[in-house]
């Protein structure tokens, strides 16, 4: 039986998302262990240029380039994925637990009567058995799960779960032409992509997060500046979003987004459990708070006890000169 691996590719604002390269990197490693092939699966419209970008990373690239797939819809995407999965019979389908992934994959799993493990952060193969690592209860517990009684399994991963490995595979492109029908029960009437909002919060390598200690929305400017120097994003705690200083889409924590950047800098964030649940898988955590007893220091690698409004301008200048040196 085939042990081939499908990776569902996502793109945004005309480029392949970072999380897709992460999945391709991990997917290739798994495919080598399973002596199988890695397929990048690309659904969209007018995606020729993007397909080229994927070639170094996959053994084969299945491209379905149809106008009906221009915008993501559960109906057209589920139908197309179902068709491809039935045709190629992969063993694993890997995707990202992005907004698209969370919408598509459960529906696809139900369609195929296949097991799904969502929002995982790791995967291993030993003796042909897959072991999937998934945090539950807000990261308080790590579960290791596997799938059984099924020829195909679907797994979605949090962005930033894997590192990107440069490869030179030069995969073969397979163009599939499929007749696609839109479900007439659903009609998009307005799509607002909100301008190009820089880096996606969940995909960002660097996050500068403001808490109640920031004192007001006007003080987030310096966080924006620091985030821009780092090429990252500003995040916010629940208190900040509830006070309407920042939009909900910036919220990190139990009721917001779960992030695992390379570097998280918490500024005036107290470290309440509902917040740390959303960021404690960050690789490196820095906390700046004037209260030496703030809970956030229990989660941090590095801490500074001082007034934010002294530290942040100094941090901005320090990072700026670092960047100029480089």
- Closest separation in Å from C-beta 236 to other proteins: 13
Question: Smallest distance, Å, CB 306 to other proteins?
Answer: 6
Which CB atom, from 72 or from 88, has the smaller least distance to other proteins? 72
State in angstroms the smallest separation of the CB of 36 from other proteins.
21
Nearer to other proteins, 57 or 299 (CB): 299
Distance CA 208, CA 210 (A): 7
Task: Please give the span between the terminal C-alpha atoms of the chain, in angstroms, as a whole number.
Answer: 51
Give residue for tokens 């006890």: 305
Pick from 44, 129, 54: which is nearest to 92 by CA?
129
| 100 or 219: CB nearest other proteins | 100
In sequence order, what are the residues at sequence separation of 6 or more whose Cβ sits closer than 8 angstroms to the Cβ of residue 54? 9, 16, 24, 40, 42, 61, 171
Among residues 168 and 184, whose Cβ is nearest to other proteins?
Answer: 184
Residues pairing with 288 in the sheet:
267, 304
Rounded CA-CA distance 153/146 in Å is: 9
Nearer to other proteins, 55 or 133 (CB): 133
Strands 129-136 and 122-126: antiparallel
Per-residue exposure over 61-86, b if at least 16 CB sit within 10 Å of its own CB, e if not: bbbbbbebbeeebebbbbbbbeebbe
For the four alpha carbons of 304, 310, 312 and 318, in that order, the dihedral sign comes to negative
DSSP string, 100-112: HHHHHHHHHHHHH
Closer CB to other proteins, 170 or 321, in the complex: 321
Whichever of 116 and 227 has its CB closer to other proteins, that residue is: 116
Q: For the chain, what is the largest distance between any 2 Cα atoms, rounded to a whole number of angstroms? A: 62
Supply the minimum distance, in Å, between the C-beta of residue 317 and other proteins: 8
**Least distance CB 167 / other proteins (angstroms):** 23
Question: Nearest approach, Cβ of 176 to other proteins (angstroms)?
Answer: 23
Cβ closer to other proteins: 170 or 310? 310
Min separation Cβ 302 and other proteins, Å? 5
Q: Are 204 and 261 in contact (CB under 8 A)?
A: yes
Q: What is the closest distance, in whole angstroms, from the C-beta atom of residue 189 to other proteins in the complex? A: 5
| Residue at token pair 């995909």 | 203
Backbone angles phi, psi at 261, to 5 degrees: -75, 170
Bridging pattern class, strands 233-236 and 206-210: parallel
């Amino acid at each position: 039986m085939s042990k081939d691996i499908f990776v569902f590719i996502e793109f945004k604002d005309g480029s392949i998302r970072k999380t897709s390269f992460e999945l391709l990197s991990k997917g290739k490693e798994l495919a080598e262990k399973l002596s199988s092939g890695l397929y990048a699966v690309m659904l969209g419209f007018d995606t020729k240029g993007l397909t080229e970008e994927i070639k170094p990373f996959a053994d084969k690239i299945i491209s379905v380039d149809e106008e009906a797939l221009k915008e993501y819809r559960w109906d057209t995407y589920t139908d197309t994925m179902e068709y491809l999965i039935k045709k190629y019979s992969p063993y694993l389908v890997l995707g990202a637990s992005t907004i698209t992934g969370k919408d598509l994959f459960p529906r696809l799993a139900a369609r195929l009567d296949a097991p799904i493990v969502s929002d995982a952060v790791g995967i291993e193969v030993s003796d042909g058995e897959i072991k999937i690592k998934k945090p539950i209860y807000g990261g308080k517990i790590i579960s290791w799960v596997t799938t059984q009684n099924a020829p195909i399994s679907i797994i979605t991963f949090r962005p930033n779960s894997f590192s990107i490995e440069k490869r030179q595979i030069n995969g073969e492109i397979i163009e599939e032409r499929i007749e696609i029908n839109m479900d007439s029960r659903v009609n998009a009437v307005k799509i607002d992509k909100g301008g190009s909002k820089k880096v996606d919060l969940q995909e960002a390598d660097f996050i500068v997060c403001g808490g109640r200690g920031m004192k007001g929305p006007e003080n987030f400017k310096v966080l924006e500046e620091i985030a821009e120097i780092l090429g990252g994003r500003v995040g916010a705690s629940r208190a900040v979003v509830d006070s309407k200083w920042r939009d909900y889409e910036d919220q990190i924590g139990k009721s917001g987004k779960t992030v695992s950047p390379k570097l998280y800098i918490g500024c005036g964030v107290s470290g309440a459990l509902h917040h740390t649940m959303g960021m404690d898988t960050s690789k490196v955590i820095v906390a700046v708070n004037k209260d030496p007893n703030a809970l956030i220091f229990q989660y941090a690698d590095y801490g500074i006890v001082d007034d934010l409004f002294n530290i942040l301008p100094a941090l901005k200048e320090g990072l700026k000169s670092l960047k100029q040196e480089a």
